[in-house]
Structure 1
């Protein structure tokens, strides 16, 4: 019956809402459990959307089936209608005797205990070991593709993490003409796809499609206005000695064909006869005319009023570069954490890396076993962390290894009197705090405005003495016109007092 399907959809929606509420009420400690919960909630929200669409279709009743069914139930004999529907149900189960009955009450209930351990989590196969359940990037594939690009700078993976979204000609070693290759197009597309996929996996409750659509809309607006950096439309009348590019010195000359700066005019004229310049000039001329490689005799689309093939390819590459920049800025926290993690792993042995992976995958299992213990059992002793050395806790809630504690010098105390005698553990935290708000606020309370000159100064007296010395030097260099005594000679010439007495001693007055 259509009414039974309508009732089933309403029940399904209520069960879905209750399942979402049960999962939101709990906040798992492990990042794996949190991601699994968010992905389950995202699946429930998608099912709510699809079930609501079906329910709206039934209520609209475009073909009138629901109205006829209601009229048939209300106008006929209730008992006859009941026995008729009962016969249909018996006939259905006679044809399908092993048809399972869906229990919505158990379908969306959070699974705990043995039921949860028997089923694999959604995020177990979603991330690589390098990503650590969405905490870090895994761009090794993109890094290899970048290194295989012709004329690309040989960057290490750590350097690549700092500059993978910097597409300026000098940053990645690729010029504008060198980017118009299928290999570079595949590289930029793979990079943007990996970043977008990572965002979808780590943020399942956000509308990533809308975020990407906003990025594309912003790019379309910037492209129409010509505001996309490094991809502005070149004028055919532009000369190779164009001074639109900012040079490092007044004597330097910029070559637009080679996209390279030369120290002076003589060096620039000498390279004009070289093979590289001639080839670069020919490629730039083709690009400005809108002729694709090997198809100079084909009809030029630019003459028909449309964009040239070169311009269309530039737009496709620029769009992917723009998306990579926006995605990288939106995930700046994961990017900085990835860099710190790579630096940390470079100081570890292979055995230590394997042990860390084992601890990472077993942490969630241990937490779930402690959580699903029997109600009458006292779990205080099991949950207590054995930490006799008072080591700092890592992201998983366990003490960090003692060798890492010694490596970073976390046992050394660095007090800062300017910060209110706050004690920083380790040299890294101490060096970092000079740019933080606490230290800057302490300097401003002392009347010090130029905080960049007071690095490594933690005593208030030293800071005040240095500030007084700086102020005295500024006052000494500053000339006060009102304090200069003016003198006048017999002829009416006005001059400073020092000059007057010097001329008088020389007998010139």
Structure 2
């Protein structure tokens, strides 16, 4: 009956809402239990969406079956209709005698005790051992793919974690022309897929599809305006539509063909006769010629550059690079934690790594056993942790070893006056806080905008004096008119106008 199905759907929705409320009210301590709870809530929300759509279709009654059923029940003899429905139910159970009855109240109730331990968690098979239940990245496969790219820099895994989202030619060593290969396309696609999958696994309650759609929309608008870095549209004259890349210094020269920077013009002119430059210039000219030919054939189109096959390939690669950058910035906390974890594991032996991995997977069983024991008897003695030295607690709730406490210098206090006299324990936390929001906000309150020059400065007076000195040096470095005009003496020596008149006054010319 449609009315019975409608009633069942309403009950199912109410049970689902109650199940979500029961799980939200409980806050597990272990990250594995928290992720399992969030994934269960996400599954309940998906079921609510699907059941609501079914219920809406019944209420709309497109074929009129619900109206006919109501009319059939309301008209005629009620007892006759009742016995008819009863006979249908008996025939169904006679045909399927072992049909189980679905208990919605028990289905969505949080399971505790032996039932919860017997049922495998959805999180156990979701993450690798390196990811630590969603706390760290596992980019070893992408790192190997990066190392196999031609002309890529030989970066260690720790260095790769710092620069995997930096796709500039000087950072990764892969030039724009070399990015057009299938190998690089697979690498960037795999990197973007791994980051997106990691976000879906660690943030099940967020609408990741909407986040990715916003990234794609932002990329489309930036691509139409030709604002994507390192992917500017190239014209037939060999220059990008928005100008060549700016050099780091005034004397440096940038080579568009080789995509390299040279210290001065003499070094740049010397490399023009090299084989690498000749080959790179020929490849770039051939690429531009092919693009211009494709654009010439399709002159009736609105945009010549976007219609070329080469430009479409560039767009596909640039879109994946843009997505990697946005995903990495959205998960900056996991990225910094991954770097710290890799540094910590490099100082451990293989036996210590295996022991830590076993403790990670066994932590949930110990916590569940302790909860069951607390229900039956008091375990005040077991809950008390012996920590006379007041050492910091590790991820498992136990004090860290004393040798690790001394190694990282966690007993040394580092106060910062700019952060409001906040005290940081240990050199690592002190060095890390210069890039955090608290310290940057304190510098901005003092009127300091360039925060990168104020590392290791914690005093307000010292920071103000340094900022004042920087402003004075900028005013002094302004171009003087006397240094622009050049004068030449009788011997052919060239010098600024001011120096020339000073020497002339002294009678040295």
TM range (shorter): 0.7 to 0.9
Offset at residue 357 of structure 1 (A): 1.0
**Aligned partners of 1:99, 1:348: CA distance in 2, in Å?**
56
Residue 145 of structure 2 is aligned to residue 109 of structure 1: no
Aligned 8 A contact 2:252 2:262 in 1: yes
Residue 319 of structure 2 is aligned to residue 319 of structure 1: yes
Name the counterpart of 1:128.
128
Task: Please list, as runs of the form range in 1=range in 2, the aligned pairs for 1:35-184 lying within 5 A after superposition.
Answer: 35-184=35-184
Name the counterpart of 2:497.
none
Mark the CA change 1:366 to 1:213 in structure 2 (over 3 Å): closer, same or farther: same
Offset at residue 401 of structure 1 (A): 2.0
Mark the CA change 1:339 to 1:269 in structure 2 (over 3 Å): closer, same or farther: same
Offset at residue 256 of structure 1 (A): 1.4
Offset at residue 261 of structure 1 (A): 2.8
Offset at residue 415 of structure 1 (A): 6.5
Offset at residue 421 of structure 1 (A): 7.9
Mark the CA change 1:249 to 1:55 in structure 2 (over 3 Å): closer, same or farther: closer
Offset at residue 413 of structure 1 (A): 4.8
SS at 2:400 equivalent? coil
Offset at residue 419 of structure 1 (A): 8.1
**Aligned partners of 2:81, 2:90: CA distance in 1, in Å?**
14
Offset at residue 334 of structure 1 (A): 0.5
**Aligned partners of 2:9, 2:110: CA distance in 1, in Å?**
20
Output one character per residue of 1:256-313: Cα deviation in whole Å (capped at 9) or x when no partner: 1111233444544443343322322222123223469xxx9x9976556361111000
Aligned 8 A contact 1:290 1:311 in 2: no
Residue 331 of structure 2 is aligned to residue 331 of structure 1: yes
Task: Please list, as runs of the form range in 1=range in 2, the aligned pairs for 1:81-480 lying within 5 A after superposition.
Answer: 81-238=81-238, 244-290=244-290, 302-303=298-299, 305=301, 307-373=307-373, 375-413=375-413, 424-431=424-431, 455=456
Name the counterpart of 2:494.
none
**Aligned partners of 1:342, 1:333: CA distance in 2, in Å?**
14
Aligned 8 A contact 1:290 1:302 in 2: no
**Aligned partners of 2:414, 2:465: CA distance in 1, in Å?**
25
Offset at residue 405 of structure 1 (A): 1.3
Mark the CA change 1:468 to 1:417 in structure 2 (over 3 Å): closer, same or farther: closer
Output one character per residue of 1:105-148: Cα deviation in whole Å (capped at 9) or x when no partner: 11000000000000111100000011001001000000000000
Query: Normalized against structure 1, the TM-score is what?
Result: 0.83
SS at 1:375 equivalent? helix
**Aligned partners of 1:431, 1:253: CA distance in 2, in Å?**
35
Aligned 8 A contact 1:301 1:308 in 2: no
Mark the CA change 1:48 to 1:301 in structure 2 (over 3 Å): closer, same or farther: farther
**Aligned partners of 2:449, 2:165: CA distance in 1, in Å?**
35
Output one character per residue of 1:139-167: Cα deviation in whole Å (capped at 9) or x when no partner: 00000000000000000111101100001
**Aligned partners of 1:270, 1:162: CA distance in 2, in Å?**
34
Mark the CA change 1:432 to 1:309 in structure 2 (over 3 Å): closer, same or farther: closer
Mark the CA change 1:256 to 1:352 in structure 2 (over 3 Å): closer, same or farther: same
Name the counterpart of 1:490.
none
Aligned 8 A contact 2:448 2:467 in 1: no
Unaligned 5+ runs, structure 2: 477-509
Mark the CA change 1:7 to 1:301 in structure 2 (over 3 Å): closer, same or farther: farther
Offset at residue 248 of structure 1 (A): 4.0
**Aligned partners of 2:273, 2:56: CA distance in 1, in Å?**
74
Offset at residue 100 of structure 1 (A): 1.1
**Aligned partners of 1:453, 1:192: CA distance in 2, in Å?**
35
Name the counterpart of 1:27.
27
Mark the CA change 1:173 to 1:121 in structure 2 (over 3 Å): closer, same or farther: same
Offset at residue 209 of structure 1 (A): 0.3
Which deviates more from structure 2 when the two are superposed, residues 394-403 or residues 318-327? 394-403
**Aligned partners of 1:102, 1:121: CA distance in 2, in Å?**
22
**Aligned partners of 2:73, 2:83: CA distance in 1, in Å?**
12
**Aligned partners of 2:115, 2:212: CA distance in 1, in Å?**
38
Aligned 8 A contact 1:290 1:300 in 2: no
**Aligned partners of 2:323, 2:450: CA distance in 1, in Å?**
38
SS at 1:123 equivalent? coil
Mark the CA change 1:448 to 1:383 in structure 2 (over 3 Å): closer, same or farther: same
Q: Give aligned pairs, total.
A: 468
Aligned 8 A contact 1:419 1:442 in 2: yes
**Aligned partners of 2:207, 2:243: CA distance in 1, in Å?**
45
Aligned 8 A contact 2:446 2:464 in 1: no
Mark the CA change 1:54 to 1:346 in structure 2 (over 3 Å): closer, same or farther: same
Mark the CA change 1:73 to 1:217 in structure 2 (over 3 Å): closer, same or farther: same
Aligned 8 A contact 1:415 1:423 in 2: yes
Output one character per residue of 1:389-420: Cα deviation in whole Å (capped at 9) or x when no partner: 32111233221122211211223455779989
Which deviates more from structure 2 when the two are superposed, residues 163-172 or residues 426-435? 426-435
Mark the CA change 1:440 to 1:228 in structure 2 (over 3 Å): closer, same or farther: closer
Output one character per residue of 1:343-369: Cα deviation in whole Å (capped at 9) or x when no partner: 111111111111111111111111112
CA RMSD of aligned residues (A): 3.6
